[in-house]
Amino acid sequence: MRYVMALMMLTGSAYGIDLGVCHGEFALCAASSTTPTGKTMQVNGKTFREGMAVCPILKGISIADLSLMNGSCKAAQGKVWSLFSTVTSYPQAPTWAVTPMTVTKFVTTKESGMSNMWSFSCDKQAKKINGVSLASCYGPINESPWNGDYVPVGTESFSAAPAGALNPVGGNFPIK
């Protein structure tokens, strides 16, 4: 845990990420796949394809990039932020049963890249599934969570999404 926090702080200071600790509701998209919406979105002046991931809503302590959240952990009415957490078991698709997280490595392809949902806005869904509150989260496809740059085809990445998931939420290696 300390190593992750130190790494994030170093990364944040190198790339202008404004790290913050939030308390309360947040979406955890770490094990989600992403469906392209057909739209594009701007992140720090760069254009990316937009994707949507369905993610469970959790409560507790989470880590945010406040530079993407208007400097505040407070989400608008009916919304929640997609944030990072150190929980190791949480509800995962398709059943939304609580399942231990398993991180896997994969390589981005022309057909399936990776997506970054960290510190982007989500719409709370009205209907719970198996007692789990869900959110539709929107974020960039093939955008590095570490430096906001494009993630090219052939990049080694990681995710907690199941192997073979389309545009899994995750990050890229190496962190540059």
pLDDT in tens, 30-64: 999 999 999 999 998 999 999 999 999 999 999 99
How many angstroms separate the Cα of 97 from the Cα of each of 9, 90, 166?
32, 8, 20
Q: Is the pTM of this model over 0.85?
A: yes
The number of residues in the chain equals: 176
Residue type for position 73: C
What's the half-sphere exposure (Cβ side, CA atoms, 13 Å) at 114? 33
Share of the chain above pLDDT 90, in %: 82
- Of residues 76, 68, 53, the one with CA closest to residue 145: 68
**Nearest to residue 80, comparing CAs of 52, 58, 51?**
58
Q: In the structure encoding, which two tokens stand for residue 15, read together?
A: 């790339």
